[in-house]
Structure formats: structure tokens, C-alpha cells
Amino acid sequence: MSELLLITRDIILPVFVILGIGFFLQKKLRLDLQTLARINIYFLVPGFIFVKLYNTSFTAALFSNVFLFFVTYMALLFILTAIVSKIFNYGKRKKTAFTNSVIFYNSGNYGVPVNDLVFKGDPLAMSVQVIVLTFQNIFVFSYGIFSLDSINSGKMKAILSYFKMPVLYAMLFGVIFSVYNIPVPGYIYIPANYIADAMIALALMTLGAQVAQLKFTAGLSTLYFSVIIRLVIGPLIALGIILLFQIDSLIGQALFIASAMPTSVNSAVIAQEYDNYPDLAAQAVLFSTIFSSITVSIVIFTSKVIF
């Protein structure tokens, strides 16, 4: 069976099953999307981040390589989206939604299974993916929250509100407990695992519920630009960075594949929470996920040729 069919069957199809459940639940029960978004942000994501960080082994060389790549990659994507926003005269709110749909990509419930499939559980490759996942979540729940909150409440209030986010403290404790091998009592670790296991399902269900309320519009150029940059231009930029910095082949291959992931579900979650173009955010996630079944396969094949 070809890699395209394997990815479609083992990764894309399960994602769309849960999306479909959320879609039909919203049509039938009229769920409160704001409440679902807050459950994700304030309850499930902190548990997920803590567990993933706690179970990951860090080395200085690995961390520095991934950090250098990630900062450079984010900066170039940010510059590119700023140029597009300037050319097409997007307002501040639309520019923020567009930028978030490009720079936040699905490193967790899509990236982790793809990494496991491609590298067959290689611990170094999976460590790369978990570190990318961590940086992405730091970025989503710091800059992502700040960029949306500052639109309505101002920069200072947005900065202060970030320190109220439990994700920040989950990340700190996860890294500290992992680096210093601090044991976590069973009565804490077991419920944390339950919370982490629930995160992916509820995030995708929330997205499905958002999709059920979408009013699809023709000629939505912002969506087209978002999907093209995220799935096509983004991986090309990532490949250039990897070759320029001469990153180790296995680490470079893992980073290249990680860069090809579709728009993060969390970008739609926070867009819903702060009511900033939630339809655009949800459509970016949906359509980038659909078309990634093709583009991710191409990136995986290319990575095996280059690295």
C-alpha cells in the first residue's frame, strides 16, 4: 500500500471521524462553542503539555537545533504573512487571523502520528516532534493569545492576562520535572494522563462543531493564501533553513516533515474564544487538513530523497 493511502487511512480518516461526530453533535444539540473552547484552553491543553514534556528526554544539542530552526521558521513566515496582508490591505483583525492560520500548525494530533509512522517510533525523531509541539503550544498560548487579546484590551492587559493562563505553568513544571527527574505521585500523574488523552478528541470535536456553523463563501482569497503558504511555501522555507544551517540529517528530516502539517486546531479554538474571524480560522484548519493528505505525502517522499 502506498504511503499516501497509509497516511489517508491511518491519520486523515481518524481525524475526520471525530470531526464528523462534532459536526453532527452541533447540528443535533447546539453545543456552546465558547464553553468548549475554554475547556480546551484552560483544562485539556495544560494537562497534555505537562504529560508530553514530562515524558520527553532533552539534550542541549537537540534543543538548540530545534530552537534555532523554529525561531527562524516562525520569523520568515511572519514576514511573509505581513507582506501579503500589506499588499491586500487586510485590517488588523483579519491580518491577525490570517497570520495565526499560517504560523500555527498541527504538531500534536497530526504531527505526532505522522512522525511515528515515518520513523517507526525512533526516539530521537519523536523527541524532535515533541519539542516542536512544545514550542508551537508556547507560541499559540503566548503570542497567539496576546495577538488576539490585544486587539480589544490593549497590549499591557494582554501581557498580564497571559500570566493567568495555566498552559504557562504546565510547561514550566513539565520541563522542570523532566530535567531534574522529579517523580510525580500517582494520584497526580494518572489524572494528568486522563486529561492529556482527552485533549485531541475534544479539540477535534470542537472544530467539527465550528464547521457545522460555517457559511462557506466562494472567492475567499485569504483562505487560499493561508492554505498555499501553510502547505506548500512553508515546507520549502523549512527545507531552505535546514540546508542553510546544515542540521543533522535525521533531525532535519523530522523538522522538514513537521513543517508540512496543516493549520493547528488550536488556532481555531482561540479564534472562537476571542471571536476573531472564527469562520476563517475553522475553514483554514479544515481545508488545510484535507489537502495535506496530498502535500504531506509529497514532503515525506522528498525528505527520503534529500536526507
Each residue of 106-128: pLDDT tens digit?
A: 887 788 888 888 888 788 888 88
Residue whose C-alpha cell reads 504531527 in the numeric block: 111
Task: Please report the domains of the chain, with CATH numbers, ordered by start residue.
Answer: 3-306 (1.20.1530.20)
pTM of the model: 0.80
Give how far the C-alpha of residue 126 lies from the chain's centroid of Cα atoms, to the nearest Å.
Answer: 16
**DSSP string computed for 229-245:** IIIIIHHHHHHHHHHHH
Half-sphere exposure of 237 (CA within 13 A, CB side): 23
* Mean pLDDT over the full length of the chain: 84
For residues 239 and 92, the answer to whether their CB atoms sit within 8 Å is no
> Which set of grid coordinates corresponds to residue 154?
490593549
Would you state the torsion angle of the CA atoms of residues 287, 288, 290, 296, taken in this order, to the nearest 10 degrees? 170
Distance CA 205, CA 15 (A): 9
Output the CA–CA distances (angstroms, integers) from residue 205 to 23, 250, 295, in the order listed.
Answer: 7, 34, 24
Distance CA 267, CA 48 (A): 16
Distance CA 196, CA 167 (A): 13
- Widest pairwise Cα distance in the chain: 54
- pLDDT of 174 above 80: yes
The arithmetic mean of pLDDT across residues 126-148, rounded, is 76
Tell me the per-residue pLDDT of 212-235, one tens digit each, with 9 for 90 and over: 876 666 557 788 999 999 999 999
Distance CA 127, CA 112 (A): 10
